[in-house]
Chain A
Amino acid sequence: MTNLSDKNTQCESRRGLRLALAQPWLAMLALVPMLLGSAFAQRDAVEGVDDGNYHYQGSFELGYRAVNTHGSHAIYDTFVNQQQGPRLLDETLNMRSLDHQGGLFDTLFLSSFGWGGDPENAARLRMSKNKWYDFNTTFRRDRNFFDYNNLANPLNPANPYIQVNNSPHKFETVRRMYDYNLILMPQSPVRLRLGFTRNNMEGPAFSTVHQGTDAGLFQNTRTLLDGYQFGVDFKALPRTNISYDQFLQYYKGDSSWNDQNFPFQLANGTPVDPGISYNIPAGQPCAAPVLDATTTPPTMNPACNGYQSYNRWAPIRRSN
């Protein structure tokens, strides 16, 4: 018997122990650092300090995320996916030149949140110098966990040979997005714009392929999109802005799929996968799939639909 969840170790690597906080006071105690951090952050945000030619304002929120889950952890992770542990919940830094004539920059604003294990992190930076440039950049990372088993419908017949304990399309991917935008001479009649963006997604997942039967596949997801931008604006006439933009995009898809579930064999010993849909009355994978149940693994009827192996790698390159 093959258990599809046994193949999940690559998907489960991030899962840790969960502390059950039965006492409400313990949960309240965990909130204290966060509340203190928030209070300090508010006070600092109002006051700030002057040093040299800059005014500084900053805040940070440190906290501890206490998690108490009961029931399906898979559903919790699919919906919420916030795990236990210390966090840098939020952080900001605001610098402003006192005479608006700073050296490298007149203003700088940095903010970020979610560091330490939260599924969503982001950092944003903006710098500008009057008349010279305006630069902003963003980094975002989001962990996407999905294990919503759409085969868990009780009307679906149970599969005695392949226990589908997870969604056949489960995934645990990470998307990282980078955005950089620079405007040169933002207040002049002619200004230049430069931009770069990167979108990278990778991680393990499950998928299926339907050819006679539905084979459960392990999918190694890897995609990358790079985008470049060059633009120029002309402010020649009142209330008129003439812009020229050139965009270049390069997409790279390197995902691969392979079958790792072979709970049957043929009479000659060749491993075979009958698929994850097992509904004999409906002929899936066939009316009589088991030829000999006494062998290990069971011997499958060669007239049935099944896979002896499946590998697919489909590198895709696209530019526009």
Chain B
Amino acid sequence: MNTKGLGRYIRFAVCLTIAVVLRPGAQAASAHQKTDKGQASFAIDASQYVGSDTCKTCHEDIYKNFEATPHWKTTLKQHAGAAQGCESCHGPGKAHVEGGGDKSKIFTFAGADEGEVSKRCLSCHEYGEERSNFERSEHSSNGVSCVACHSPHHAREAQGLLVQKQPELCYSCHTEVKQDFARPFRHRVDQGLVQCTDCHNQHGGFLTKLLRSTAAQDQVCFKCHADKAGPFAFEHEPVKTEGCVACHSPHGSTNPRLLKRAQINLLCLECHTLTQDSGTPAIPTFHNQSQKYSACTLCHTTIHGSNFDAYFMK
């Protein structure tokens, strides 16, 4: 493509983008078009919508709960158009009403396909760094939809409309994690000081284990344990290359410093052993493990990194 052709192509692309952005009701229409099976299979026909007041005549208790939640905002003028209030999520209700309350004539979240449920919620909630990665998250790919944790009508937790409080909500699936926090040394999740969502973004992200990162894009651990972040003049390489979990079991441990092994020496020796394959220096001969019963970190106190000593002794 010559220069003239390229310029014409760019102008066309820019005009097309502007046209899409400025198209009246672009956001609202796109949101509702994709909510039905994820495809634009129904056009918005204002005559198919009955309004929330009609819904209220039969579902007064649900409407009362709905009225107390942030979702009530969908009835405000900014959502003017066909779909407002209840029908913002459930779709047009005219057929449902005319069918005498026939559940098959309206979208109900209970029993619906998990992907479809999440798509309906994400049509409004997918913007922002918190939830924009939900569709690629482990939760989504394992069939955990929004309503597995959130209940727009029957939430027990006003914040986030959660069906249960943290950490019990997370424990309801992640039972193996619950026992980690019952270990002698653990992060204080059960006490409420730390929440699961402080370290994990349950809606998905770019790291494994749905982990968050700090503002500086470091590991989330450094948000609280700032003194371990460095950079140091003498780095302990695993902190930077493998991360904190190379040595620590962050949920809980039998070791006082949440280490993976109960005895510190054994953990250190897993790397610091003379092998042909590893560049890790082996322990010197004067560290006779049959005589030394103290932890390596008794002397190597600044094991995460030091500005003063290459052997992390101060």
Say whether A associates with B. yes
Q: Which residues of A contact B (CB under 8 A)?
A: 55, 78-79, 94, 96, 100, 107, 109, 113-114, 120, 122, 126, 128, 130-131, 140, 142, 146, 148, 150-151, 153, 155-156, 168-169, 175, 177, 187, 195, 197, 199, 201, 207-211, 214, 223, 225, 227, 229, 233, 235-239, 241, 243, 247, 249, 251, 253, 257, 277, 279, 282, 312, 314, 316, 318, 320
Out of B21, B216, B229, B294, name the residue touching A247 (CB < 8 Å): B216
For B159, the chain A residues whose CB sits under 8 A away are 109, 126
For B73, the chain A residues whose CB sits under 8 A away are 100, 130
> Contact between B188 and A142 (Cβ–Cβ < 8 Å)?
yes
For A107, the chain B residues whose CB sits under 8 A away are 70
Nearest Cβ in chain A — how far from B119, in angstroms? Answer: 11
B192 within 8 Å of A (CB atoms): yes
> Contact between A314 and B308 (Cβ–Cβ < 8 Å)?
yes
Q: How far is the CA of A119 from the CA of B129 in the complex (A)?
A: 33
For A235, the chain B residues whose CB sits under 8 A away are 27, 127
> Contact between A146 and B70 (Cβ–Cβ < 8 Å)?
no
For B27, the chain A residues whose CB sits under 8 A away are 235, 238
> Contact between B293 and A210 (Cβ–Cβ < 8 Å)?
no
Nearest Cβ in chain A — how far from B71, in angstroms? Answer: 10
B313 within 8 Å of A (CB atoms): yes
> Contact between B192 and A122 (Cβ–Cβ < 8 Å)?
yes
Q: How far is the CA of A135 from the CA of B198 in the complex (A)?
A: 17
Nearest Cβ in chain A — how far from B70, in angstroms? Answer: 7
Given contacts A126-B159, A199-B226, A237-B17, contact A211 B313 (CB under 8 A): yes
For B72, the chain A residues whose CB sits under 8 A away are 100
B78 within 8 Å of A (CB atoms): yes
> Contact between B215 and A249 (Cβ–Cβ < 8 Å)?
yes
Q: What would be 8 A-B contacts, judged by CB atoms less than 8 Å apart? A: A79-B185, A100-B76, A150-B294, A169-B301, A177-B224, A208-B301, A210-B313, A312-B314
> Contact between A146 and B21 (Cβ–Cβ < 8 Å)?
no
> Contact between A150 and B226 (Cβ–Cβ < 8 Å)?
no
Given contacts A113-B192, A241-B132, contact A78 B256 (CB under 8 A): yes
> Contact between A199 and B215 (Cβ–Cβ < 8 Å)?
no
Out of A142, A208, A223, name the residue touching B299 (CB < 8 Å): A208
Q: Which residues of B contact A (CB under 8 A)?
A: 17, 20-21, 26-27, 30, 68, 70, 72-73, 76, 78, 126-129, 132, 158-159, 184-185, 188, 191-193, 215-216, 223-224, 226-227, 229, 231, 256, 291, 293-295, 297-301, 307-308, 313-314
Nearest Cβ in chain B — how far from A191, in angstroms? Answer: 8
For B129, the chain A residues whose CB sits under 8 A away are 241, 243
Q: What residue in chain A is nearest B299 (Cβ atoms)? A: A210
Nearest Cβ in chain A — how far from B203, in angstroms? Answer: 13
Q: How far is the CA of A236 from the CA of B23 in the complex (A)?
A: 11
Q: How far is the CA of A318 from the CA of B301 in the complex (A)?
A: 21
For B188, the chain A residues whose CB sits under 8 A away are 120, 142
Nearest Cβ in chain A — how far from B46, in angstroms? Answer: 21
Nearest Cβ in chain A — how far from B127, in angstroms? Answer: 5
For A120, the chain B residues whose CB sits under 8 A away are 188, 191-193
Nearest Cβ in chain A — how far from B30, in angstroms? Answer: 4
> Contact between B193 and A316 (Cβ–Cβ < 8 Å)?
no
For A279, the chain B residues whose CB sits under 8 A away are 291
> Contact between A223 and B313 (Cβ–Cβ < 8 Å)?
no
10 more A-B residue pairs beyond the given contacts A109-B159, A114-B192, A201-B226, with a C-beta to C-beta distance below 8 A: A55-B68, A142-B193, A150-B295, A199-B223, A199-B224, A211-B313, A238-B20, A239-B30, A247-B216, A314-B307
Given contacts A156-B294, A314-B307, contact A247 B314 (CB under 8 A): no
Q: How far is the CA of A77 from the CA of B50 in the complex (A)?
A: 62
Nearest Cβ in chain A — how far from B100, in angstroms? Answer: 32
> Contact between B226 and A225 (Cβ–Cβ < 8 Å)?
yes
> Which are the 5 A-B pairs with shortest beta-carbon distances?
A210-B299, A225-B226, A247-B215, A120-B193, A238-B30
> Contact between B128 and A241 (Cβ–Cβ < 8 Å)?
yes
Given contacts A120-B188, A140-B193, A238-B27, contact A156 B293 (CB under 8 A): yes
> Contact between A214 and B298 (Cβ–Cβ < 8 Å)?
yes
For B227, the chain A residues whose CB sits under 8 A away are 201, 223, 251, 253
> Contact between A175 and B216 (Cβ–Cβ < 8 Å)?
no
For A209, the chain B residues whose CB sits under 8 A away are 301, 313-314
> Contact between A131 and B127 (Cβ–Cβ < 8 Å)?
no
Q: How far is the CA of A175 from the CA of B228 in the complex (A)?
A: 14
Given contacts A177-B224, A233-B128, A237-B21, contact A207 B301 (CB under 8 A): yes
For B30, the chain A residues whose CB sits under 8 A away are 238-239
Out of A177, A312, A320, name the residue touching B216 (CB < 8 Å): A320
For B215, the chain A residues whose CB sits under 8 A away are 195, 197, 227, 229, 247, 249
For A229, the chain B residues whose CB sits under 8 A away are 215
> Contact between A175 and B78 (Cβ–Cβ < 8 Å)?
no
Q: How far is the CA of A132 from the CA of B291 in the complex (A)?
A: 67
Q: How far is the CA of A33 from the CA of B188 in the complex (A)?
A: 25
> Contact between B298 and A168 (Cβ–Cβ < 8 Å)?
yes
Nearest Cβ in chain A — how far from B268, in angstroms? Answer: 14
> Contact between B299 and A148 (Cβ–Cβ < 8 Å)?
no
For B313, the chain A residues whose CB sits under 8 A away are 209-211
> Contact between B298 and A96 (Cβ–Cβ < 8 Å)?
no
> Contact between B70 and A153 (Cβ–Cβ < 8 Å)?
no
Q: How far is the CA of A243 from the CA of B129 in the complex (A)?
A: 8
> Contact between A236 and B21 (Cβ–Cβ < 8 Å)?
yes
